[in-house]
Amino acid sequence: MRKKIIFQKCNFNNIFFLFYTIASFIDIYFESKVCLEESETDDSETKYLLPRQIINYLYISNLSDFLAIIPHFIRKRLVKKKEENIVDEKSEENSDENSNHSNLIYHDYEKSITKKKEIILYCAFVIILDFFEKFAFILYNIIYPKKSFYTYTFGCIVPFEIIFQFVCSYIILKIHFYKLQYFSLFLNLGIFIILLIIDLINIIKNGEFEGITYCFYGLNIISYSFEYSLGKKIILYGFISVYSLIVLKGLIVFIIIIIFSIIFFSVKKDTGIVIISLLKNPQYIPFVIGKIFTYFFANLFSWLIVDRFSPNYLPFAFLTTEFGYFLVDLIDGIEIKWDLYLRLVLYLVSAICVIIHNEIVVINICNLGSDTKYFLDLKVQSEELFANTDNPEIMKRYDSFTEMDEVNENSDEDKTEN
């Protein structure tokens, strides 16, 4: 094939990426703009760090999960209606047949029970990972109560997210990597190393943020990377939908949060008092309500991306979120430093790598695209065309290939005889 770059056809499900981007940008707006006006003293600012983290990452995120009950019941009703229509159609067909005939249906009950047990186990892991994903940021402010959770825009975090999500999909979902996927993976690894070196230089030289922050980001990334991969495995079994999984996750995590709150606030009563004062403030109510809805839609569309595609498509979400934070920083008048342009270019390269990894764009250079789905489908179509055709013009195209196969087989036989 002469084409070196091949663009795949767009899918209607790609609209979920647009919806996620919109929800994510609105969520970032609420995070950065709609907040409680507090005193400008350092003591007041540090006093609100931990309470805000608990409200945002535990209470608001957990309450947003319960909004999935609405699409859950809508889907349940639509499925039930569809099943009733199928039953009616089958009953009409069976009425025309002989009443003495009966349909025999075989169910492997042991296999079904085993799968259900595996789903329960996977659900337990997903719920635990979901809690640790949110708790990572809170843990930072518990250990460092006077330090804000801050990192550079376009840092090494997102490339690490991309790499770890690819690795989790490879381990848990057994997604095979071919030449194009390995090329994308190692290119992202190189980008991660470059950005990590730049970040470490800035940390040591300027000391603008704490390097220990990356450890807590690592806990967060590892938690939700495994969570999405295990969630995809649960969905593939077909016993549970995305909406049911979100609601179930919200119910169990709600119990864990209550237990955590009772234990934590009995030790640190001051934090509980500050949280109550925040929630009582009328100015904070719109922020809480807005965050509940924006977090719900961002979370829902991320899970729908996992459902309709795979967790390997989530890096698009990671990249768009980072660009959203960058736009907010530009509006706030961020100081542009020497390394920001390099970071931006590397992120654009990383986005291209994600597109290549998921075969949205196939590169036909140095035989990189030989194992992609696009070329394998072309090969199957060619073989079917050759097998079913009687046209001599079409058959001539494959004469050289068959002769080459015969020559290779004869050469292999000669080698074995010698």
Distance CA 148, CA 72 (A): 37
Kindly give, in sequence order, each residue whose CB lies less than 8 Å from that of residue 256, ignoring residues fewer than 6 positions away.
Answer: 127, 131
Is the pLDDT at 55 greater than 70, yes or no? yes
- The domain ranges of the chain are 5-81+110-369, 375-417
Distance CA 208, CA 151 (A): 9
Enter the tokens of residue 96: 């025309």
Enter the tokens of residue 199: 């970040």
Kindly give, in sequence order, each residue whose CB lies less than 8 Å from that of residue 171, ignoring residues fewer than 6 positions away.
Answer: 229
- Mean pLDDT check: name the lowest of 88-92, 200-204, 209-213, 361-365: 88-92
Q: What is the DSSP string of 223-267?
A: HHHHHHHHHHHHHHHTSS-HHHHHHHHHHHHHHHHHHHHHHHHHH
pTM of this structure: 0.78
Kindly give, in sequence order, each residue whose CB lies less than 8 Å from that of residue 290, ignoring residues fewer than 6 positions away.
Answer: 26, 30, 34
Give the confidence band of 7 by pLDDT, cuts at 50, 70, 90. Answer: low
Residue whose C-alpha is closest to residue 62's, from 263, 283, 247: 247
Q: For residue 306, how far is the Cα from the chain centroid?
A: 6
Distance CA 83, CA 377 (A): 33
Kindly give, in sequence order, each residue whose CB lies less than 8 Å from that of residue 388, ignoring residues fewer than 6 positions away.
Answer: none
Mean pLDDT of the chain, nearest integer: 77
Kindly give, in sequence order, each residue whose CB lies less than 8 Å from that of residue 334, ignoring residues fewer than 6 positions away.
Answer: 153
Q: For residue 88, how far is the Cα from the chain centroid?
A: 39
Q: For residue 395, how far is the Cα from the chain centroid?
A: 46
Q: For residue 160, how far is the Cα from the chain centroid?
A: 13
Residue pLDDT, tens place only, 228-273: 999 998 888 877 889 999 999 999 999 999 999 999 888 888 888 8
Write down the pLDDT at residue 38: 44
Q: Between vectors from CA 389 to CA 387 and to CA 395, what angle results, nearest 5°?
A: 85
Residue pLDDT, tens place only, 148-191: 776 777 888 889 999 999 999 889 988 878 777 888 899 999 99
Residue pLDDT, tens place only, 349-383: 998 888 888 877 777 766 665 555 655 555 555 55
Q: Which long-range contacts (CB under 8 A, 24 or more apart) does 37-44 make?
A: 37/283
